[in-house]
Amino acid sequence: MSRVSLDADFTGTNVQTAQGPGGPVPRLYGEALLELAHEDPRIVCLVADLAPATETDLFRDSLPDRFFNLGIAEANMIGVAGGLARCGRRPWVHTFGVFATRRCYDQVAMQVAYPRLDVKIVGFLPGLTTLLGVSHQAIDDVALMRALPNMTVLEPADADGIGECLHEANAIGGPVYLRMRRLDPGEARSPLPVASSTGALSVIREGQGPVVFASGMMVRTALNAAERIAEQGVSTRVIDVRRIKPLPAEPIVEAARHAGAVVVAENHSIVGGLGSAVAEALMEAGVHCAFERIGVRDTFAEGGSTAYLFDRYGLSEEAVAAAIRSVARRAGR
């Protein structure tokens, strides 16, 4: 059985026909990248034999002369991307997040980040979003990419965020890691509410009590948790942090200082990800507050559905709600 068919069977989506449990799966990233490529002739698309799974088959079929399938050879793909960037092209590189980071980290560091080349690396299947288990779960990719000088790290939370992240990445004249997830039909039709936005982060729910900083799919989970506990008298502010590096530290510090109680929620290990970045920013600014992190607790995870894994490893709505209640009590809110 080929890797493509394995990915189709065990991620819960038939990547060849783009069918999911709720019907046709929107290919928002693929459509946005293709639109961007029509606007910017420098863009070329590279993929490690995962075109349907990364939605780049749309690019392949529309702009075949600017599409390159490098096969199951991620380290070589990064090297090719670096060469294309040195020739004035703008490579967008695609594979699963765990392969884009852990498998070819030295090449990313030495052939892209160190020379500060204009390469965009897009990693699908973030965190606990695959049935394939440890080999495919990118739970340390943010930590790895945060550690690289010159690297920007972005993660969208909804359909609007995908387009915004692509345009932000393309406007940066250097390396970017874009953490990407395919949205199900319901999510694609229900953009997150935005009360205010600074570009790098968006307030999606106002509140007078604790503040939750969340990224990616944990933003909607945090919003649902905040709405659940509002009936218990806990008013929670929820903020979508779209740019994880460089972290928008000033508004984060201001929000935390005002709230006095902070929860950080991410679909990633609690080691080295958004929670670590926020904690570093708060300590450096001298902000002392009740603080909890929601994420994978420094362990490898078994395979399973996303809902099962989120419940088992403490990333569920109830886990976020419990963390909010905990910091609210400690802060006397």
Residue spans of beta strands (DSSP E) within 98-230: 120-124, 152-154, 176-179, 196-197, 201-205, 211-214
Distance between CA atoms of residues 125 and 114, nearest Å: 26
pTM above threshold 0.85: yes
17, pLDDT greater than 50 = no
CB atoms within 10 A of CB 31: 15
11, pLDDT greater than 60 = no
Between 320 and 231, name the one with better pLDDT.
Answer: 320
Q: State mean pLDDT over 168-179.
A: 97
CB atoms within 10 A of CB 183: 23
Give me the pLDDT at residue 23, please: 61
CATH code, residues 192-330: 3.40.50.920
Which tens digits make up the pLDDT trace of 81-129?
Answer: 999 999 999 999 999 999 999 999 999 999 999 999 999 999 999 999 9
Which tens digits make up the pLDDT trace of 127-156?
Answer: 999 999 999 999 999 999 999 999 999 999
* 156 Cβ contact list (under 8 Å, min separation 6): 162, 164, 165, 180, 216, 242
Give phi and psi for 213, each to the nearest 5: -100, 125
The CATH homologous superfamily for domain 3-186 is Thiamin diphosphate (ThDP)-binding fold, Pyr/PP domains (3.40.50.970)
Which candidate, 10, 53, 26, 12, places its Cα nearest to that of 186?
A: 26
- The residues with which 302 forms a beta bridge, in sequence order, are none
Give me the pLDDT at residue 78, please: 98
Q: With contact defined as beta carbons under 8 Å apart, do 175 and 112 qualify? A: yes
The percentage of residues in the chain with a pLDDT greater than 90, rounded to a whole number, is 87
Per-domain residue ranges for the chain?
A: 3-186, 192-330
Q: How far apart are the first and last CA of the chain?
A: 55
Which candidate, 51, 126, 61, places its Cα nearest to that of 93?
A: 51
Q: 3-7, 47-51, 227-231, 242-246: which has the minimum mean pLDDT?
A: 3-7
Between the CA of residue 183 and those of 20, 115, 137, 144, 257, what are the distances in Å? Answer: 10, 34, 17, 24, 33
Distance between CA atoms of residues 271 and 273, nearest Å: 6
- Domains 3-186 and 192-330 in one fold: yes
Which tens digits make up the pLDDT trace of 41-76?
Answer: 999 999 999 999 999 999 999 999 999 999 999 999
Q: Report the b/e string of 185-209 with b at 16+ CB within 10 A.
A: eebbeeebeeeeeeebbbbbbebeb
